[in-house]
Amino acid sequence: MKNSKSPLIIDALQYNNWSEKVFRQMNEGGVAAVHATICYHEDFQEMVENVIAWNRLFEQHSELIFQGRCAEDVLKASDEGRTAIIFGFQNCSPIEDNIGLVEICHQLGVRFMQLSYNNQSLLATGCYEEDDPGITRMGRQVIKEMNRVGLVVDMSHSAPRSTLEAIEISARPIAITHANPFFWCEALRNKSDDVLIALAESGGMLGFSMYPHHLKNKSACSLEDFCSMIARTAEMIGVERIGIGSDLCQNQPDSVVEWMRNGTWSNERDFGEGSANLSGFPEQPGWFRDNRDFENIFSCLRKTGFSEKEVERIAGLNWLEFFEKSFGTQK
C-alpha cells in the first residue's frame, strides 16, 4: 500500500504471469499503474480473447486492480490503493492489415502499440533485421491513425532508422517504453544517442528497463551502476523525458520467452537476446525482483544526486504527464 511519503509509481512495461500474488505485490509496492503487454504475435481475434481473460481478472481482483484508460485513472488508483492496468501491444499483429482496427483496439482500452517486434512487420523494421528500410507506406498511415485516436507509438523493439522516422512522422510524441542507452550496454535492443536525443527533442519518453539482457553485466548489474546510467541519460536528454519501464517478466515459464522470440514465424529456434546456453528467462538482479523493490531504485537515485522532485518525476510523474497528453483523441 502506498504511503504518504512514497512517490506515485508508474511502470511503463511488464509482462508477468499474472496472479493475485503479483497484484498484491503491486499493492504492497504502491504501484499506481502498469502498462501490461497483452499481445506479442496474436491476431485480432486472439487479442480479443486476451482482453476477455483480463476482464475476468479485473472482476476477480477488483480490490487490487482495474483497467486504466486515461491519466485520471492512474490518480484514482493511487488514491484508492489499487493499480491501473493499461493495455499495450508489443507488435502490430492485432491490427492485421486493416487500419480500421486501430480505433477498435483503442476503444478496447489499448494505449500503446509497438510498430514491430524484433522482425520486419507491415509497419516498420525490428532491431534484429540486417536491413532497415524504415517506416512502410502502411506504417505512415497507421501512425497518422494512432495519432488521431490516442494510441501511443512505441518503438522499443524497432531498428534505428524506423525509430527516427517514426519520431519524425508522428504528430504526437512517441515512446520507447522499455530500453536502455546503447552507450551503457551494447545490446541490439538498446538505443543510440541519436535516437534518444531525437526522442527527447520531440517530447517523447524513455522507460528504463531492468530486464537483464538490457543491463551492463546482465543479472550481475549493480544498482549503483544502473542509477549512474540514469544520471548520465538525464544529463543528455533531460530528467523530464525519462521514467521506468522495467520489462518485468515475473514467474513466467521459459516456454513463454520461446513464444516471445519465435511466435509462429520460424521453424528454427531463435534465441533472441539469449543463447543456446542461456535460452530461458534470465535471473532478475537482486535489487529488483518484483513490484515491491522500486524503492531500492529511488533510494539509490537520491544517493546518486537526484533531488526528491526529480525522483518523483522519474518514478511516475513524467509518465503521468505523457499519458495526459497522449491517450485522448487528437484535437
Residue 4 has pLDDT above 60, yes or no: no
Rounded CA separation 177/174 (Å): 9
* Domain presence at residue 20: yes
Q: What pLDDT is stored for residue 124 in this prediction?
A: 98
Rounded CA separation 322/203 (Å): 9
* Domain presence at residue 331: no
Q: What percent of the chain has pLDDT over 90?
A: 87
Residue 269 has pLDDT above 80, yes or no: no
Instruction: Please write the tens of the pLDDT for every residue from 98-140.
Output: 999 999 999 999 999 999 999 999 999 999 999 999 999 999 9
Rounded CA separation 193/57 (Å): 40
Of the candidates 9, 13, 84, 8, the residue with the CA atom closest to the CA atom of residue 248: 13
The pLDDT-based confidence of 275 (bands split at 50, 70, 90) is low
Residue 276 has pLDDT above 70, yes or no: no
Q: What is the mean pLDDT of residues 162-177?
A: 98
Rounded CA separation 218/275 (Å): 13
Q: What pLDDT is stored for residue 143 in this prediction?
A: 98
Q: What pLDDT is stored for residue 278 in this prediction?
A: 67
The pLDDT-based confidence of 280 (bands split at 50, 70, 90) is low
* Domain presence at residue 87: yes
CATH number assigned to the domain comprising residue 81: 3.20.20.140
Rounded CA separation 130/18 (Å): 35
Work out the end-to-end distance of the chain between its first and last CA atoms, rounded to an integer number of angstroms: 37
- Mean pLDDT for all residues in the chain: 94
Per DSSP, the chain holds a count of helices (H) and strands (E) of 12, 9
* Domain presence at residue 220: yes
Q: What pLDDT is stored for residue 271 in this prediction?
A: 62
* Domain presence at residue 113: yes
The pLDDT-based confidence of 282 (bands split at 50, 70, 90) is confident
Rounded CA separation 261/66 (Å): 29
58: containing domain: 9-326
Instruction: Please write the tens of the pLDDT for every residue from 232-244.
Output: 999 999 999 999 9
* Domain presence at residue 1: no
Between residues 286 and 263, which one has the greater pLDDT?
286
Between residues 331 and 187, which one has the greater pLDDT?
187
Residue 299 has pLDDT above 70, yes or no: yes
C-alpha cell at 1: 500500500
Residue-wise DSSP of 67-103: E--SHHHHHHHHHHT-EEEEEEESSSGGGTT-TTHHH
Rounded CA separation 31/83 (Å): 6
Rounded CA separation 64/308 (Å): 28
The pLDDT-based confidence of 252 (bands split at 50, 70, 90) is confident
CA distances from 201 to 10, 126, 181 (A): 22, 23, 16
Residue-wise DSSP of 209-253: ---GGGSTTGGG--HHHHHHHHHHHHHHH-GGGEEE---B-TT--
* Domain presence at residue 3: no
Rounded CA separation 139/85 (Å): 27
Rounded CA separation 157/127 (Å): 6
Instruction: Please write the tens of the pLDDT for every residue from 38-71.
Output: 999 999 999 999 999 999 999 999 999 999 999 9
Question: Of 40-44, 79-83, 204-208, 256-260, where does mean pLDDT reach its minimum?
Answer: 256-260
H or E stretch at 136: none
The pLDDT-based confidence of 2 (bands split at 50, 70, 90) is low
DSSP strands (E only) in 245-312 = none
Instruction: Please write the tens of the pLDDT for every residue from 200-221.
Output: 999 999 999 999 999 999 999 9
* Global pTM value: 0.95
Please give the tally of structural domains in the chain: 1
* Domain presence at residue 19: yes
